[in-house]
Amino acid sequence: ARLVAVGDWVAVRNTPEATEIRAVLARQSAITREAPGRETAAQVIAANVDLVFIATSADSDFNLRRIERLLTVAYQSGAVPVIVLTKVDINNPDAFEAELETVAAGVPVVAVSGRTGAGIEAVRLHLSRGKTAVLVGSSGVGKSTLINRLLGQEVLRTSDVHKGGQGRHTTSHRQLLKVPGGGLVIDTPGLREIQLWAGAEALAEVFLDIEELALRCRFTDCRHETEPDCTVVAALEGGTLDPSRFASYRKLQRELRAIEVKADVRLQIEERRKWKLIHRSVKAHTQIKRRLG
């Protein structure tokens, strides 16, 4: 049976003794990552999500490489990403928004302050009636405070901000909350190093600039290292492509490729196991027939 995730729609049967889940409806979208452990399998963090609010704070925790990773996760899910820049009461958001434009062109950015409430209504406008959003981001960026502001009451526990401006992680489990106005929001534990899952095409959404450069290379299988007329190498040498952004692109590429390889190996093992069971069953059946005959 399929495990139920936060955000799933289910058919239930109520009895005086208990409430029983009878069926899980097909998912329209899902935030998925590689499950912990040796087995290569998907773990659904949140299901039937329309929006992915990517929370990042306007302080020393701001990290473009992490945002690229979370954008990839959002596009893999089939949901629409929205970047929520928190703690703008601490620092002027202009410089942070300019940096976000270099990695997330076209993605809406909303600057908010959980302390003053600035920008909360702009976030609420994205979360219209009937829509479900999931809030992701590293620990301490103010996700619980933001949700409390959206709900209009202190539903989630928050911690004081450290002297350096850093918050402390408070959410320990995922939960679905109803926002006044009809929307729903899923709160998640801090996901600093969220693992990707299958779906390499999502990289084209996040790294469109690099993908377009690669299309202009002389060779279709260009590795963007030493090949002649490589437009990616030319952009790196000319300073129009940030080397750290390209390194992030290659790192995520390698992660997704490794997942695909592990998944292929797993399928091969399962296939061999299935045929071993079939051969064993046929052999046992043949031995029984011989004894009876």
Q: Which residue has the tokens 């750290």?
A: 244
- Residue 199's CB: how many other CB atoms inside 10 A? 17
Angular region, 119: left φ>0, alpha ψ -120 to 50, beta rest: left
The secondary structure element, H or E, covering residue 258 is: helix 243-292
pLDDT, one tens digit per residue, over 59-106 is 988 999 999 999 998 988 889 999 999 999 999 999 999 999 999 989
Quote the CA–CA distance of 288 and 293 in Å, as a whole number: 8
Instruction: Name the pLDDT band for 169 (thresholds 50, 70, 90).
Output: very low
* Residue positions counted in the chain: 293
Residue, of 15 and 268, whose pLDDT is higher: 15
Instruction: Name the pLDDT band for 251 (thresholds 50, 70, 90).
Output: very high
At residue 38, does pLDDT exceed 60?
A: no
pTM for this model (two decimals): 0.77
**pLDDT for the residue numbered 140:** 82
**pLDDT for the residue numbered 144:** 84
C-alpha to C-alpha distances, 13 to 19, 23, 24, 77, 290, nearest whole angstrom:
6, 10, 12, 30, 50
